[in-house]
Each structure stands twice: as structure tokens, then as C-alpha cells.
Structure 1
Amino acid sequence: MHPVHRLEELLAGAENLMIVCHNNPDPDCLASAFALGRIAIAVGIDEHHILYSGDISHQQNRAFVNLIDIDLKPFDPAAVQDRPEESLLAFVDHAVPGENNRVPEGTPVDIVIDHHPNEEIEAQFIDHREQIGATATILTEYVRELDIEMDAALGTALLFAIRRETLGFLRGVTSAEYDAAGWLHEHADGALLRTLSTPSVTGATVDTIAEAVRNRTVRGSVLISGIGRTSERDALPQAADYLTTLEGVETAIVFGIVKDGIQISARSTDSRIHIGNVLDGAFSDVGTAGGHREMAGGEVPLGIFAEYATDDTQLFAIVDQVMSARLIAELRLTAETDT
């Protein structure tokens, strides 16, 4: 039996579905939640909600939500804990309560559909495929198998998510992504895809990327850059993506203070490095971090750092020193080279 038919049976017995996105959801998470909502409608669930916490601040993500017209609602922990028995709780593109989401630890989850590495998943229905390049690929497989009615919004959402998650079929891509994209091509809106692929960029985002370039240090093929405080959380992965294009750089790690936490984004094309494991090893004792071999992220609460500084300049000097030292130790880096 195809996994989606087990999911179909589970959904058929529910009256309500709560789909929880991970913090600061990206197109892969949003499109997957959108598709799961369509599946819920098709099997007869009267009410479903797509919930998120954090921010949708990346210009591409904002355009995605607005142009695809995804109905998102802010996440309320109380609503999840007090949900009726006939309600199901689903995670897409993440897997464990309390990890990259605001769901209280220990909360029972009914459905998990994800492609990120994780060994602690518990749910009634689990479809966890680390080898797949995008969660949207799995959901595309579902809508095909169930013959869900397709329209331009759903087709465009899934195709854009797969393209974005794999960096245009260059990162973590498998034959499943090509197969899904070939099928989705007939259902997607080409003009909308182009619009989503070229959103306007704010001056603040450009400034953040410029700061990452200015503050870079390079050791071997590893680049580390701290950018201070920024309101542009989603500029960090954009900066990491850009910095890996510099000659001689195979691994780029960018971190900065966003609100009351230190956000980290990393990219690597070095086959010797699993960047998700590197971040986990460096920061799991003080925050949450991890991801794939080529792409990872994390967050460390400011916590004790803030007690030793009276202004942002002093605070970030401490943060920069500690974060860089942990990364250098975990990567076993040696002498600094020219920047």
C-alpha cells in the first residue's frame, strides 16, 4: 500500500486538521502544508488550519504567501494542547515538538511528513525520507496518487518549492524531484513562477549581505562571518548562499543577532563536511541546530551573553568570539588565511 493511502484512512476519521509549519516557514514547508490541506478537503475534512510562528520576512516567502493566497494563521500553543479528540495535528517539513517550532515538547503528533534528518520522530503516520530533496516532492507524489484536483495555485506552489529547496535542482536533488517537476510543469503558471523567482530585495537585506562580506574570515575553504544585529533574519541564508560562490570557499557559515536570539545559517559543497552535523556538534548544548549535509541552520538564545554587555557593539563582540571559537573547534580549523 502506498503511504498516502494510510494517511487517507487516518484523515477520513477526523473532523479537523491542524497543520503546523516550522518557525519562519519557507516555500517547501508552506507548499507542503498547502497541499496537505487540499488532501484534507478531498477526503472530507470540513475544517483545516495552517499555522505558523516566527516571521515570514524573506521577500520571496512573502510573495509566495500573497500570490499563492495561502490562508495562514498565527500559531497558538493553547489551541494545540486543547484541541478536541477528533482533531489531528500534522507537521510538514519538520518533525519533533519543540524543535524549530513552538509546539510544547511532549505534545502528541498525529502526522509527520518530512525530509530532514531526525531519529526521534513519533506519530501515528510518519513519512520520513531523508534521501528526498524536498518535502514538496513527497506531497506531489501524494496528490498524484490520490488524483487530487490540480489548479495553477497548487501546481505553482509545489513546483516553486521544489526548485527553491534544491537551489534550481543543484542541491540535494534526486530523480524524484525531476519526476515531480516534470508532472507539475503542466499544472503550473509560468508567469507566476517567474514573478516568485525574482522578488524585489529590500535595502536592509542588501546591507546585511554586504556586512557578511565585510566581516568574513577564511580558514582553508571555510568562511565564517558574523553580521551583528539585524532585523533581516532571512538575509542570513541569502548571505551564506552568496558567500559559497566566492573563489576557494566551499563552506560558508553566517550568524547574527535577530531579536533575542543568535540565528545561524550554513552552506557547504565540501564532500568531507556534513554541515548539519557540524552545527549540531557546535551548538546543540546551548541551542538548536542541524540540517542536511549541504544546508543547515540553528538558533542560540542570547541568554547569558546579554548579561555581560551594555550595548550591541560590546554584546556582539562577545557573541562573535564565542560562536567563531565553537565553529573553529568543531571544524578543527587551523591558521587563518587572507580574507
Structure 2
Amino acid sequence: MSAATELRDILTEGDELTIVCHNNPDPDCLASALALGRIAADAGIDERRILYSGDISHQQNRALVNLLEIELQEFDADIVRDREPGSLLAFVDHAVPGVNNHVPDGTLVDVVIDHHPTDDIEAGFQDHRDDVGATATILTEYVRELDTELDDQLATALLFAIRRETLGFLRGATAAEYEAAGFLHGQADRDLLRKLSSPAVSSATVDAIADAIENRQVFGAVLLSNVGRTSERDALPQAADYLATLEGVGTTFVFGIVGDSIQLSGRTTDSRVNVGSVLHDAFDDAGSGGGHREMAGAEIPLGIFADYTSNDRHLVDIVEQVVTARLLAELNIDTDKGDTQENEAG
């Protein structure tokens, strides 16, 4: 039995479906949730909801939700906790309760579909493929095999998600992404794809990227930078992507204070570096971190950092010192031995 058929059989046994996105969902997560909802509708589930936590702050994420009219609800723990028999719970683009989501540890999950490197997945149905470039690729395969109706909205969402997750098929793309894109291409709305690809950028995002450029420090082929405190969480991966294009740089980490937590984003084109492992090993004792070899993120509660000072500038300085020291230690970079080629912090 194929994964798509197994999934359909599980869904036909349910009366309602709650799809939980990971915190601050990106296009891959949102499009995958939309597709799973369509598959569930075909399986006879009339009551469906998509829940999310955090913010939809990246301009492309907001555009995806608004232009494609994806219906979302803010996460409600009661919905997850007080489920009746026949009420199914699904994760897309993440896999473990309490990890990058607000679902309580130990919660029974019925469906998990994910492409991130993850251990200890427990679910009634799981399709975990860390050898593909996007979760949307897996959902496209299901839509195709199950003959789910593919309208302009769904095709555009899935195609945009695959393109965005793989940076235009340049990062982590496999033959499966190209096959999925070929299937979706004819039905996708090209005008919407253009709008999604180049939405307006807020001044706060531009300011955060400018701060990352100004504060950069280069250690050999590794670049570290911070944006200080920002309201634009998604400016961090955008800054990391931009700084990764700097000549001579193979690995980039950008961090900043967002709300009551420290957020980090990592990128690499260096085959010797796994940024997912670096962030996990450097910060797992203090927060959560991980992802792919080429792209990853981490989140650390401010916690004790905030107890040191009420001065925001001092707080940023303390966070910069600690985060930088942990990253350099994990990367085995010893600045006392001359590993620092350039220090351009402003």
C-alpha cells in the first residue's frame, strides 16, 4: 500500500481534522496544510481547521495567506487537548509535539508528514522523508496519486512553496521537486506566482538586514552577525540568505532578539558544515535548534539573559557575546590562533 493510500484510509475513519502548523509557519508548511485539508475533504471530513502559533511576519508568507485566502486559526491548546474519538490531529512540516510548536509533550498525533531530519517520531501515520527538498513535494505526490482536485489556488500554493523552500531549485532540490513542479506548472497562476515572489518589504525588515550587514564578523569562511532587537523575525533568514552571497563566505549565522527570545538562522554552501547540527548541538541545552544541512534555525528563551540588565543595548551585547562564543566553539574556530580573517562589526 502506498503512503497516499494509507493516509486516505486513515482519514476516512475520522470525523474532523485539526492540522497544526509549526511556529511562525513558512510557505512549505502553509501549502502542505492546505493540500492535506483538500485530501481530507475528499476523504469525507467536513470539519477541518489549520492552526498556527507565533507570527506570519515574512512578507511572502503574509502574501501567500492573503492572496490565496488560506483560512487559519490561532493555536488553541483546548482544541488539541480535548479531542473526541474520531477527531484527528496532523502535523505538516514538523513532527514532534513540543518541538517548534505549542502542542504539549506526549500528545498523540495521528498524522505526520515532514522532510526535516528528526528522530523519535510517534504517529499513527508518518511519512518522513529527509531526502526530499520540501514537504510540499510529498503532498503534491499525494494530490496526484489520489486524484485530488487541483485548482489554481492549490497548485499555486504548492509550486510556490517548493520554489521558496529550495531557493528556486538551487538548495536541496531533488528530482522529486522537479517532477512535482512539472505536474503543478500547468495549473498554477503565473500572475500570482510573480506577486508572491516579489511582495513589498517593510522598512523594519530593510533596517534589520542593514544592521546585519553593518554588524557582520567574518572568521575565515564563516560569517556571524546580529540585528539587535527587531520585530521582524523573518528578517533573520533573509539577512542570512543575503550575507551568504558575500565573496569568500561559505557559512552564515544571523541572530537577534525577537520578543522574549533569541532567534537564529543559519545557511551554508560548505559541504563540511551541517548548520542544523551546529545549531542543535550549540543551543539544545538552552532552547531548540536544528534543520537541514544547508539551512536551519534556533530559538532560545531570553530567560536569564534578561535578568542581567534592563538596558536593551547591554542585553544585546551580552547575547552577542554568548551566542558568538557558542557558535565559534561548536565550529572549532579559535580566534586566539588567528582564525579571524576579518572583523567588520560596526
Q: TM-score range by the shorter chain?
A: over 0.9
Amino acid at match of 2:280: D
Residues 1:227 and 2:243 are matched in the alignment: no
Q: Which residue is 2:287 aligned to? A: 287
Output the CA distance in 2 between the equivalents of 1:310 and 1:74. Answer: 31
Q: Could you tell me how far 1:155 is from its partner in structure 2?
A: 0.4
Q: Could you tell me how far 1:227 is from its partner in structure 2?
A: 1.4
Give the gaps of 5 or more residues in structure 2.
none
Amino acid at match of 1:10: I
Q: Which residue is 1:24 aligned to? A: 24
Number of residue-to-residue matches in the alignment: 339
Q: Which residue is 1:336 aligned to? A: 340
- CA offset digits 1:15-36 (Å, max 9, x no partner): 0000000000000000000000
Q: Which residue is 2:243 aligned to? A: 243
SS in structure 2 opposite 1:19?
A: strand
Q: Which residue is 2:114 aligned to? A: 114
Amino acid at match of 1:196: L
SS in structure 2 opposite 1:303?
A: coil
- CA offset digits 1:46-81 (Å, max 9, x no partner): 110000000000011000000111000001012100
Output the CA distance in 2 between the equivalents of 1:237 and 1:223. Answer: 14
Residues 1:177 and 2:181 are matched in the alignment: no
User: Once superposed, what is the RMSD of the aligned Cα atoms?
Assistant: 0.6
Output the CA distance in 2 between the equivalents of 1:43 and 1:2. Answer: 16
Residues 1:69 and 2:69 are matched in the alignment: yes
Q: Could you tell me how far 1:310 is from its partner in structure 2?
A: 1.9
Q: Could you tell me how far 1:41 is from its partner in structure 2?
A: 0.5
Output the CA distance in 2 between the equivalents of 1:149 and 1:192. Answer: 19
Deviates more, 1:75-84 or 1:18-27: 75-84
Give the gaps of 5 or more residues in structure 1.
none
Q: Could you tell me how far 1:101 is from its partner in structure 2?
A: 0.3
Output the CA distance in 2 between the equivalents of 1:218 and 1:333. Answer: 11
- CA offset digits 1:179-216 (Å, max 9, x no partner): 00001001100111001001001111010000001001
Output the CA distance in 2 between the equivalents of 1:267 and 1:22. Answer: 20
Output the CA distance in 1 between the equivalents of 2:252 and 2:151. Answer: 39
Output the CA distance in 2 between the equivalents of 1:308 and 1:157. Answer: 45
Output the CA distance in 2 between the equivalents of 1:211 and 1:183. Answer: 41
TM superposition outliers: structure 1 runs of 4+ over 4 Å: none
Residues 1:159 and 2:163 are matched in the alignment: no
SS in structure 2 opposite 1:50?
A: strand
Output the CA distance in 1 between the equivalents of 2:79 and 2:32. Answer: 21
Q: Normalising by structure 2, what TM-score? A: 0.97
Q: Which residue is 2:129 aligned to? A: 129
Q: Which residue is 1:214 aligned to? A: 214
SS in structure 2 opposite 1:193?
A: helix
Q: Could you tell me how far 1:170 is from its partner in structure 2?
A: 0.2
Q: Could you tell me how far 1:333 is from its partner in structure 2?
A: 0.9
Residues 1:202 and 2:198 are matched in the alignment: no
Output the CA distance in 2 between the equivalents of 1:136 and 1:150. Answer: 14
Aligned sequence identity (%): 66
Output the CA distance in 2 between the equivalents of 1:43 and 1:267. Answer: 39
SS in structure 2 opposite 1:290?
A: strand
- CA offset digits 1:306-335 (Å, max 9, x no partner): 111121001111100000000000001133
- CA offset digits 1:89-132 (Å, max 9, x no partner): 00000000000000011111000000000011000000000000
Amino acid at match of 2:288: T
SS in structure 2 opposite 1:299?
A: strand
Q: Normalising by structure 1, what TM-score? A: 0.99
Amino acid at match of 1:53: S
